[in-house]
Amino acid sequence: MEKTSFLIAAVVLLVLNHSIFSSAITNLTTDQSALLSFKSYITLDPYNVLADNWSTSTSVCNWVGITCGVLLQRVTSLILSNMSLTGSLSPHLGNLSFLSSLDISFNDFHGQIPDESSHLHRLKRVNFEYSNFTGDLNSYSWFGNLPELQYFILYNNGFRGTIGSSLCNISNLEALYLGHNYLQGSIPDEIGKLSNLKILNLESNQITGSIPSAMFFNMSSLQSIALT
């Protein structure tokens, strides 16, 4: 009886392991497809960073700029900062469902950030500084649906409009860089909801009006404010 129970348990364990392994392969294939789509939206890669490294002949986890999780082989980080890349963002980027860090700063990415990026619910760090992204900041209401986001850097881009209240719904936010854009209007009172915020950079915009009192009474973590 004990031998039979042991055999049954062993078979169940093998089936579960096979299922998990097969699922990981399938999901990593999804990540690979998303990254290949990202690559296809690059119109200029002068140093052949992606052309020479992002190949289906090797695992996506070995591609330059890519980090995968240790236990679950899924793409968790995409770091391509300062590589002279030019292009726009593929909507399939939103299929990288385990992505926690995204840094494509100091390149020439332009256009609008696709709405599909709202599916990246595990994002903690986003750095798009010194890019050429555009659009009305209020049209990106889905920014408020990124619950894990801690560092959000949109410094030196082409965003217009007002700050809006959707950004104030990112409760875990610790650093928000919106400086050197074309933002207008006042700072929304809802900014007081960002109780974990340490850094707020709004310099070199066209912000007007008074500073909400909530910034002084509700944001005890605040260490730096830039409004020059």
Q: What pLDDT, on a 0 to 100 scale, did the predictor assign at position 135?
A: 96
User: Going by CATH, does the domain composed of 2-226 fall within 3.80.10.10?
Assistant: yes
Q: Residue 23: pLDDT band by 50, 70, 90 thresholds? A: very low
pLDDT tens sequence across 67-122: 999 888 899 999 999 999 999 999 999 999 999 999 999 999 999 999 999 999 99
Report the candidate in 221, 156, 165 with the shortest Cα–Cα distance to residue 195. 221
pLDDT in tens, 149-198: 999 999 999 999 999 889 999 999 999 999 999 999 999 999 999 999 99
Look-up: residue for tokens 């881009």?
157
Instruction: Identify whether the C-beta of residue 165 lies closer than 8 Å to the C-beta of residue 185.
Output: no
Measured between alpha carbons, how far is 228 from 145 in angstroms, rounded to an integer?
29
What is residue 14's predicted lDDT score, i.e. its pLDDT?
40
Of 62, 63, 46, 65, nearest to 54 by C-alpha is 63
Domain borders along the chain are 2-226
Using alpha carbons, select from 104, 125, 114, 126 the residue that is nearest to residue 49: 104
| pLDDT tier, 1 (very low <50, low <70, confident <90, very high otherwise) | low
Mean per-residue pLDDT, 23-32: 74
